[in-house]
């Protein structure tokens, strides 16, 4: 037979898992809608609990961090696809792309950037070449621009949750320190 504390531990784990899933669903909606308010509201509800659900917030931050790493990786793969198309279809070497600021920064790479670069490299860029470039790069560059927006939103939300986690950690540490420092001597002997 399970003890009462074991049952409450299982319930707490199940509740924690449910709330984590809810947080990530809200996060997905934030990305879709381009607005962080849904996850911000969720976090505010968790910190208003007594005691605040610090462990949940830590796990949500961990989930957001993992999602951020996945977004970075996916965005890198899309950029590599764009670079490969430029190399294979237009003969632009990778070293020629490095001076282009948008290719080495966190900013999205736009079709106009590619056209400008190709015009500079090859003054005889034809209208057919430009149409081919549009056809080949439109989808990956649109995807990369969306990923850029998702990265910015995820970075913001991760920082938002981590700020609360660190702040709550500081409050709990101060409370514990103050309680142990000013506890009567008789509390220390038991």
pLDDT tens-digit series, residues 39-70 = 999 999 999 988 888 999 999 999 999 999 99
Stronger pLDDT, 117 or 22, i.e. the higher one: 22
The tens digit of pLDDT for each residue in 125-174 reads: 788 878 888 888 889 988 988 999 999 999 999 999 999 999 998 887 87
How far, in Å, are 37, 94, 116, 119 from residue 61 at the CA level?
16, 36, 40, 44
Does the pLDDT at position 2 exceed 70? no
Does the pLDDT at position 104 exceed 50? no
Asked if residue 178 is part of any domain, the answer here is no
Domains held by the chain: number? 1
Q: For the whole model, what pTM was predicted?
A: 0.77
Distance (Å, rounded) from C-alpha 84 to C-alpha 56? 42
Asked if residue 139 is part of any domain, the answer here is yes
Domain that holds residue 111: 8-49+56-161
């Amino acid at each position: 037979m399970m003890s009462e504390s074991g049952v409450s531990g299982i319930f707490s784990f199940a509740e924690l898992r449910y709330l984590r899933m809810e947080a990530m669903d809200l996060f997905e909606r934030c990305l879709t809608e381009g607005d962080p308010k849904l996850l911000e509201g969720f976090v505010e509800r968790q910190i208003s609990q007594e005691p605040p659900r610090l462990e949940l917030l830590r796990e949500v931050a961990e989930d957001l961090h993992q999602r951020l790493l996945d977004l970075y990786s996916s965005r890198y793969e899309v950029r590599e696809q764009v670079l490969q198309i430029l190399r294979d279809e237009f003969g632009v070497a990778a070293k020629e792309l490095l001076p282009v600021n948008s290719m080495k920064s966190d900013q999205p790479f736009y079709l106009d950037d590619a056209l400008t670069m190709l015009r500079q490299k090859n003054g005889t860029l034809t209208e057919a070449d430009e149409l081919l470039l549009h056809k080949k790069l439109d989808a990956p560059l649109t995807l990369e621009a969306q990923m850029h927006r998702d990265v910015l939103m995820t970075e913001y939300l991760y920082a938002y949750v981590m700020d609360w986690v660190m702040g709550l950690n500081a409050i709990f540490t101060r409370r514990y320190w103050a309680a142990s420092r000013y506890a009567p001597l008789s509390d220390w002997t038991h």
